């Protein structure tokens, strides 16, 4: 009697185990045919660690500001004299920078240096505001002579007028490889003093006209008179510029604040006086 009971229990266990196995098999095949297929490539992708964007490396950047580089003959023109240095002094400043180990860059190269795609130990930017004609007649030949770069911030609404470059000259320097063209608004109005609609137009239209006429990207902006506010900065950003420079005095200890970059007025300093000005100011 006991043997029959034991056999029955044993048989029940076997049947129960087989039933569980059958159920598991059904579930396995059901999931196999109804679950979405995952390719080998997808499996590999899922197991790969997430790739993070490389961190930008900020760097110290002095930017020199110039307006007129010419020999002013009219003693009554006090404004021009106050903003002017002679071509001879400018050439000596170039020699000073080269002897001190500086390499001239343009604003569009800032990001390349930050991302490590361009290695320059001591970069410096030479910036020229307003697009005066002496840039073409006096500055441009010196740039070519010493194989250096500069950025010219021009007002397209003033080109072809008295004392300003002609469009043909701007096109020539833009194609030369020595000069980057930046925008300086359409007509050199104080953007923080006029109504917002006009200020936005000055910013956007200057970029649009320069790019249309020169067939090149224009990515850097200089605030006329150095006047700007938070709204002006937003107009510059939304227009598609990637950097903007002020007339605030100082060397940029880093390049993080790309829309409020400071500049240095070198005056007629040369040699050690110029280097000290670049190092000591903040």
pLDDT, one tens digit per residue, over 63-117 is 999 999 988 777 777 777 777 899 999 999 999 999 999 999 999 999 999 999 9
Using an 8 Å Cβ cutoff, are 149 and 121 in contact?
Answer: no
Burial (Cβ within 10 Å: 0-12, 13-18, ≥19) of residue 79: exposed
Residue 54 lies in a domain: no
Burial (Cβ within 10 Å: 0-12, 13-18, ≥19) of residue 104: buried
Q: Which two tokens stand for residue 230?
A: 């938070």
Confidence (pLDDT) at 26: 46
Using an 8 Å Cβ cutoff, are 84 and 69 in contact?
Answer: yes
- Give the residue among 195, 262, 269, 263 at the shortest CA–CA distance from 232: 195
| 38 and 151 within one domain | no
| 276 and 252 within one domain | yes
| 31 and 122 within one domain | no
| 139 and 263 within one domain | yes
Q: Where is average pLDDT lowest: 12-16, 133-137, 244-248, 254-258?
A: 12-16
Domain total for the chain?
A: 2
| 124 and 31 within one domain | no
For the chain, state the CA radius of gyration. 33
Q: Which two tokens stand for residue 146?
A: 């010493």
Q: Which two tokens stand for residue 92?
A: 């000596």
Residue 264, pLDDT > 50, answer yes
Domain enclosing residue 182, as ranges:
63-280
Q: What is the pTM of this model?
A: 0.80
| 116 and 15 within one domain | no
Using an 8 Å Cβ cutoff, are 271 and 73 in contact?
Answer: no
Residue 160 lies in a domain: yes
Q: Is the dihedral of CA 39, 40, 46, 51 positive or negative?
A: negative
CATH of the domain at 136: 3.20.20.370
pLDDT single digits (tens) 1-18 = 444 444 554 455 445 555
| 220 and 124 within one domain | yes
Using an 8 Å Cβ cutoff, are 62 and 264 in contact?
Answer: yes
| 43 and 103 within one domain | no
């Amino acid at each position: 009697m006991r043997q029959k009971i034991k056999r029955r229990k044993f048989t029940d266990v076997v049947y129960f185990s087989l039933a569980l196995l059958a159920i598991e098999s059904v579930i396995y095949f059901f999931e196999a045919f109804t679950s979405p297929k995952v390719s080998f490539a997808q499996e590999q992708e899922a197991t790969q660690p997430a790739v993070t964007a490389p961190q930008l490396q900020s760097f110290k950047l002095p930017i020199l500001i110039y307006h007129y580089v010419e020999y002013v003959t009219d003693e009554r023109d006090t404004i021009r004299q106050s903003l002017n240095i002679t071509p001879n002094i400018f050439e000596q400043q170039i020699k000073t920078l080269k002897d001190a180990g500086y390499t001239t860059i343009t604003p569009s190269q800032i990001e390349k240096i930050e991302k490590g795609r361009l290695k320059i130990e001591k970069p410096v930017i030479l910036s020229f505001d307003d697009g005066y004609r002496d840039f073409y007649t006096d500055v441009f030949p010196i740039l070519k002579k010493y194989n250096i770069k500069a950025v010219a911030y021009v007002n397209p609404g003033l080109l072809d007028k008295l004392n300003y470059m002609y469009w043909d000259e701007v096109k020539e320097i833009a194609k030369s490889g020595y000069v980057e063209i930046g925008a300086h608004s359409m007509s050199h109005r104080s953007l923080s003093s006029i109504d917002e609609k006009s200020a936005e137009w000055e910013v956007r239209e200057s970029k649009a006209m320069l790019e249309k006429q020169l067939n090149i990207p224009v990515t850097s902006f200089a605030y006329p008179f150095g006047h700007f506010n938070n709204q002006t900065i937003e107009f510059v950003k939304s227009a598609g510029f990637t950097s903007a420079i002020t007339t605030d005095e100082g060397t940029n200890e880093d390049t993080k604040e790309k829309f409020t970059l400071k500049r240095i007025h070198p005056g007629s300093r040369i040699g050690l006086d110029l280097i000290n000005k670049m190092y000591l100011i903040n």
